[in-house]
Amino acid sequence: MSGIYIHIPFCKKACIYCDFHFSTLKNHKEIINSILVEIDLNQKEFKKNNISTIYFGGGTPSIIENSLIKKVMQSIHKNHSIQEECEITIEANPDDITDQNIKSWKEIGFNRLSLGVQTFNDVCLKKLNRIHNREDAISAIKKIKKEFKNYSIDIMFGTPGSTIETLKEDLIQIKKLNPPHISIYSLDVEKKTPIHKMIKNNKIKMPSSSLVSEQFDLISTEMEKMGYINYEISSFCKEGLQSRHNSNYWCNEKYIGYGPGAHSYDKKYRYWNIRDNEKYINRINNRQPFYEQEKLTDTQKINEYIMTRIRTKEGINISDLEKRMGINLMTLKKEEIQFLSEELMVENFGDNIVLTEKGKKIIDHIVEKITV
């Protein structure tokens, strides 16, 4: 199975934490036309069959004219063999959720929405430079749930201004609205983002690590009480409603990325498209290479397996890793795994190494210990 990712590099406004490639310009048609050419060209020579998921991300795909989104979807169907039960997702912001947009997206073929809420607290939303407010988010979710059985909302913790009380507010709203899927993640400050500069210049203050840890514990406890399955560190769902697109990443499936800044993976190579919109358009139009690539070493493939699988509920299957990659991790990293187990950071379930709640908080440290 393979997934398709379409990167729509446009936003109305820049969020202070965002490290993705985007533009606030409105040359939507130029970019979409170039994406259509990229799909036709298939310069990376991906096999175009057995597509199980399609995901329109960004940026903010929901700000693009629906007629342009429809053209991209038609091109995907023309150039690829799409499974009958394909999961087809579009990311959206609350301020773009209208009855007309919802109707158009369903007609185009979307069967899943991912809504960028981040928080239901208006003070925290302003600090993050988000356009919408609490009421916009609640209203948007109510409209979505009338038409879509499958949708997701994004929530952030560890943000400027967030506290245990603001998080409790978010969890109360989650309980009331009962969405089928939620991505809840801690804010990581990336270099070259506005928030990184603001922190450096003492213009904004981040919560303490102890507060973020306390927030993490509260999320784990309350989400379990609400009946959500924590199938990946940052992902919670009702039974049977995991994000199939994201699960493909964690299960080492191939994916094809179209658009400026999009990444692709075929299990042998990683590819990444140019992040500059104008360069992307020019190279596409002149039929020049518009991406770079890297051939993965055996060590990189092993570590990719470890880094993705350890994030999941099932964890790393030792026998499967040995069968695929020819190494026995329990032998190779015996001392490290024993130490992590004694410190209650990982535990064994049969042939699987799985993170504990304590381990989920320090996954970077654990990955460093068990990669080869």
Give the Å distances, CA to CA, from 243 to 186, 189, 230, 282, 333. Answer: 19, 25, 12, 34, 31
Please report, for the chain, the start and end positions of each structural domain, with discontinuous segments joined by +.
2-249, 316-370
Which positions ≥6 away from 37 have C-beta within 8 Å?
284, 285
Residue 15 near residue 129, CB atoms below 8 Å: yes
Nearest to 261 by CA among 47, 16, 50, 57: 57
Percent of the chain's residues with pLDDT above 90: 84
Can you tell me the distance from the alpha carbon of 97 to that of 111, in angstroms, rounded to the nearest whole number? Answer: 15
pLDDT greater than 70 at residue 20: no
User: Which contiguous run of DSSP H or E holds residue 35?
Assistant: helix 28-41
Strands 235-237, 229-232: pairing kind = antiparallel
Lowest-confidence pick of 44-58, 237-251, 307-321: 44-58
3-state secondary structure of 46: coil
Tens digit of pLDDT for each residue in 67-111? Answer: 999 999 999 999 999 999 999 999 999 999 999 999 999 999 999
Tens digit of pLDDT for each residue in 105-125? Answer: 999 999 999 999 999 999 999
Tens digit of pLDDT for each residue in 246-301? Answer: 999 998 899 999 999 999 999 999 999 999 999 999 999 999 999 999 999 999 99
pLDDT value at residue 12:
81
Tens digit of pLDDT for each residue in 53-71? Answer: 999 998 899 999 999 999 9
pLDDT value at residue 42:
86
pLDDT value at residue 23:
59
> What superfamily in CATH does domain 2-249 come from?
Aldolase class I (3.20.20.70)
Kindly state the DSSP code that residue 290 receives in the 8-state scheme: -
pLDDT value at residue 1:
66
pLDDT greater than 90 at residue 196: no
Average pLDDT, the chain: 94
Can you tell me the distance from the alpha carbon of 242 to that of 235, in angstroms, rounded to the nearest whole number? Answer: 8
pLDDT value at residue 246:
92
> What is the arithmetic mean of pLDDT over 177-184?
98
Nearest to 63 by CA among 36, 38, 27, 17: 27
pLDDT value at residue 25:
58
Q: What is the CA radius of gyration of the chain?
A: 21
Residue 312 near residue 249, CB atoms below 8 Å: no
Alpha helices in 80-152 (DSSP H): 99-108, 122-127, 134-147
Percent of the chain's residues with pLDDT above 70: 98
pLDDT greater than 70 at residue 147: yes
Can you tell me the distance from the alpha carbon of 236 to that of 157, in angstroms, rounded to the nearest whole number? Answer: 15
- pLDDT category of residue 14 using cuts at 50, 70 and 90: confident
Can you tell me the distance from the alpha carbon of 362 to that of 365, in angstroms, rounded to the nearest whole number? Answer: 5
Tens digit of pLDDT for each residue in 352-362? Answer: 999 999 999 99
pLDDT value at residue 22:
56
Residue 352 near residue 314, CB atoms below 8 Å: yes
pLDDT greater than 60 at residue 209: yes
Can you tell me the distance from the alpha carbon of 195 to that of 206, in angstroms, rounded to the nearest whole number? Answer: 10
- pLDDT category of residue 319 using cuts at 50, 70 and 90: very high
Q: Which amino acid is at 331?
A: T
pLDDT value at residue 290:
95
pLDDT value at residue 239:
96
> What is the arithmetic mean of pLDDT over 39-49?
86
Tens digit of pLDDT for each residue in 130-140? Answer: 999 999 999 99
Tens digit of pLDDT for each residue in 219-246? Answer: 999 999 999 999 999 999 999 999 999 9
3-state secondary structure of 146: helix
Nearest to 150 by CA among 171, 179, 130, 174: 179
Can you tell me the distance from the alpha carbon of 192 to that of 275, in angstroms, rounded to the nearest whole number? Answer: 15
pLDDT greater than 60 at residue 144: yes
